[in-house]
Amino acid sequence: MVNRILKIEFFGKLLFRIGIAFYMWSIVLLSFQLDKDRLWMAILMAVLVIIPGLSLLHYRNAKTGIIGGIGTFLFFLASAILLLVTDLSANVPWNFIFLHVIKDVLLMLGAVILVGESLKEMVREKITAPFPKK
């Protein structure tokens, strides 16, 4: 029974990680347009496409999962701030501002969960690593 519960937890976290990655990729690919005159936008777009990939690499290397999770947290923090500022400048009603910003806040909290998962995996790898031979 415990093994079944752990499998369900693993599968849920895997789906959560994949879902956040696809959501970030869809935001980046639908929001940014490549412009030959703006190299910095292409570099930013490339970085924002790589960050979810790093988060998905958690299952190969926990350190890349940590980097991807921190990048995801910063992405959604910047997105929440940008939405808040643009909505406030456009005099949007508060209930719409809340609805725009709350999803990014929840995804930021999800990114913190993913960073914690990667940290836990890194500690587990160190604890279960065999002793080095002399």
pLDDT digits (tens, 9 = 90+) for 65-87: 899 999 999 999 998 999 899 98
Please tell me the predicted confidence (pLDDT) of residue 2.
82
Please give the tally of structural domains in the chain.
1
Please tell me the predicted confidence (pLDDT) of residue 112.
93
**Inside any domain, residue 22:** yes
Render pLDDT for 28-42 as a digit per residue (tens, 0 to 9): 888 777 666 777 777
Would you say 115 and 73 are in contact if contact means Cβ atoms under 8 Å apart?
A: yes
Please tell me the predicted confidence (pLDDT) of residue 109.
93
- Whole domain around residue 12: which residue ranges? 2-127
**Inside any domain, residue 132:** no
Please tell me the predicted confidence (pLDDT) of residue 13.
86
**Inside any domain, residue 68:** yes
Please tell me the predicted confidence (pLDDT) of residue 134.
64
Residues in the chain with pLDDT values less than 50: none
Please tell me the predicted confidence (pLDDT) of residue 72.
92
**Inside any domain, residue 105:** yes
**Inside any domain, residue 40:** yes
**Inside any domain, residue 133:** no
Residues in contact with 47: Cβ distance below 8 Å, sequence separation at least 6, in sequence order: none
**Inside any domain, residue 134:** no
Please tell me the predicted confidence (pLDDT) of residue 36.
67
Please tell me the predicted confidence (pLDDT) of residue 70.
93
**Inside any domain, residue 61:** yes
